[in-house]
Amino acid sequence: GEDVEQSLFLSVREGDSSVINCTYTDSSSTYLYWYKQEPGAGLQLLTYIFSNMDMKQDQRLTVLLNKKDKHLSLRIADTQTGDSAIYFCAESTGKLIFGQGTELSVKP
Amino acid sequence: DTGVSQDPRHKITKRGQNVTFRCDPISEHNRLYWYRQTLGQGPEFLTYFQNEAQLEKSRLLSDRFSAERPKGSFSTLEIQRTEQGDSAMYLCASSFMGRDQEAFFGQGTRLTVV
């Protein structure tokens, strides 16, 4: 089956690193994604990783994939107040299946 | 091309009325997806097209919902006999088959059924 789970809330201080975790169930997923949604806004594609990779780095973002445990994480270095948003993990088997989202709160 | 465009942005309708939403994908994209999002939840898959063919429809989708993509370009999503539970944000996304990692979303249509 297809299911994606995320913790609902994360609070960090400005300048710290944030780590958002996600687990998924479909081992045939070809890509795994992170999307960002700010209040009242649409979904913004942040980054994605192909399922045969275990790490991808893109500026302040690092994605780690443990395919054996079906665990995906997004690390945001030097978190800023502008990073406050809801972050969605998604798996793809043709269509995207999303988690519930993790609300990241960054305190100054 | 400025991205995926959805119209209208907001729709308020009375229970029992029919509504239709439109999505214009990024021009070279051949896949188009519809999702529904309610407050505090992630987007829920409804259906998707490759060109004009509807490839998959969620089992959760009531038969009051129908989607079309007649010429493989824009798509419409119609909800008949709306119910209060249909109130949600309806999101459209598009991608190019073979580069499905790059699925881009529109701003959504917010439906309120009163």
Q: What is the pLDDT of residues A2-46, one digit of tens each?
A: 689 999 999 999 999 999 999 998 878 788 999 999 988 889 999
Instruction: Give residues 17 to 36 of B whose Cβ lies within 8 Å of A.
Output: 33, 35
> Residues B84, B93, A50, CA angle at the centre, nearest 5°?
125
- Which one is predicted more confidently, B28 or A62? A62
DSSP state of B72: S
Is A94's CB within 8 Å of B55's CB? yes
Q: What is the pLDDT of residues A60-92, one digit of tens each?
A: 999 999 999 999 999 999 999 999 999 999 998
The whole-angstrom distance between B83's CA and the closest CA on chain A is: 23
Residues of A in contact with B30 (CB under 8 A): none
Instruction: Give the per-residue pLDDT at B71.
Output: 87
Instruction: Give the per-residue pLDDT at A39.
Output: 86
Distances (CA, A) of B79 to B48, B62, B76, B96: 16, 9, 10, 27
